[in-house]
Amino acid sequence: MNHQIAFSDEQAMLLETAADFCRKHSPIETVRASLNADQIDAETWQQLTELGWLGINVTEEFGGLGLGLSCVVPVAESMGRYLMGSPYIGAIIASECLATSGTRGQKEEWLPKIVNGAIGSMGLTETNGSWLLNAIEAQAVVQEDVLELSGTKCFVTDADTANFCIVSVNVEAKARLVLVRREQIPDENLRREVVIDETRRSYQLDLDGITVPLDQLLKGSDFQALEFASLLLLSAEIAGGLVGSIHCIVEYLNTRKAFDKIIGSYQALKHPTVKILLDLEAMRSHLYHAATKLAEGNTDEAEVALRMAKAHGSAAFSSAGDRAVQFHGGFGFTYECDAQLYLRRALWCQYQFGDEAYHRRLLEPMLLDQAG
């Protein structure tokens, strides 16, 4: 049946468990302690692996739960809510990428490992900052049974810890995907990037001099599936982040006094906060609608829904973070104030996989130029 928004019992259960898990494992003190950390939080990773969350979208054939990406949404949303800086979303996208574009052998080798905690990461962006996934400059040249890689990938999250990265490269002038194992990457080819969201451990990956066996080339190159999965999970993280930023604002507005009044009573602060709330309500609706359409396999509707979600969310979350800082007054200007954490996360999410202007531009022909 054609639903605007379908929400299964599994999703409901995951949402409850994940919200609880992230509240316990990612209180704001823990988030702060993780800023610019060298290592991932291995204990939390181990626990969420044991909960089976890395296998939610992996089919049962490869040891997963086979519930699909729409069941990953509640987990990603909860992580966003508590600003968790986990390699989780990258790992899910990597497994999704293998599932849609990998060879049988690659799936058999990696999917069960991912379900058991192996970390995958994606290297899709380059220094030019373009969001067009197949407009890339990195190369792979086939030499007998190996691929010689060259070029540079950016924003490869957790690349140092990841067991493998999947990078996009041109092979004979066509954009393809190649799996690179961690041990094939010399340490000096990884350079930590200074990024706006300090909960992210982001790396530049220099591909020059890296050679991998030809069988690490992925069979397909389904960039659309890759983009859709990324947009969905980023939107989930954004929806969660909006909830977190509203709590951050409301808590301050309900405690801080100025001119003998609790500042939340001032309409100049109250009204824009309501606008952020309504933006969130729209965002969550777009998000679960997009998840529903993607699960139904309705590509056209899913594309519209995903781009709307990401466009709306990018603008809403960055504006919520912006106001969160402003509404904290002088305290908001300090590093100690948590509002900056939300603003930084919002800007990170906004510039991953296309900002609002980018997605609106892509929506224009879909929404405005169809016959009729």
Binding site for another protein (CB under 8 A): 3-5, 7, 11-12, 15-16, 243, 246-247, 250, 253-254, 261-262, 264-267, 270-271, 273-275, 277-278, 280-286, 288-289, 308, 311-312, 357, 360-361, 363-364, 367-368
Task: Name the minimum Å distance from CB 248 to another protein.
Answer: 12
Q: Which is nearer to another protein, 267 or 330 (CB)?
A: 267
Task: Name the minimum Å distance from CB 314 to another protein.
Answer: 11
Query: Cβ distance 96 to 111 under 8 Å?
Result: no
Query: Cβ distance 152 to 126 under 8 Å?
Result: yes
Q: DSSP 3-state assignment of 16?
A: helix
Task: Name the minimum Å distance from CB 305 to another protein.
Answer: 8
Task: Name the minimum Å distance from CB 308 to another protein.
Answer: 5
Any alpha helices (H) in the chain, and if so which ranges? 9-25, 28-34, 42-50, 73-81, 88-101, 104-115, 223-253, 267-296, 299-327, 329-332, 339-351, 356-368
Alpha carbon of 101 to those of 16, 20, 216, 219: distances in Å? Answer: 32, 34, 12, 6
- Please give the Cα distance from 324 to 70 (Å, whole number): 30
Task: Name the minimum Å distance from CB 15 to another protein.
Answer: 6
Q: Which is nearer to another protein, 3 or 192 (CB)?
A: 3
Query: Cβ distance 237 to 73 under 8 Å?
Result: no
Q: Which is nearer to another protein, 175 or 282 (CB)?
A: 282
Query: Cβ distance 164 to 93 under 8 Å?
Result: no
Q: Which is nearer to another protein, 6 or 171 (CB)?
A: 6
Q: Which is nearer to another protein, 151 or 313 (CB)?
A: 313
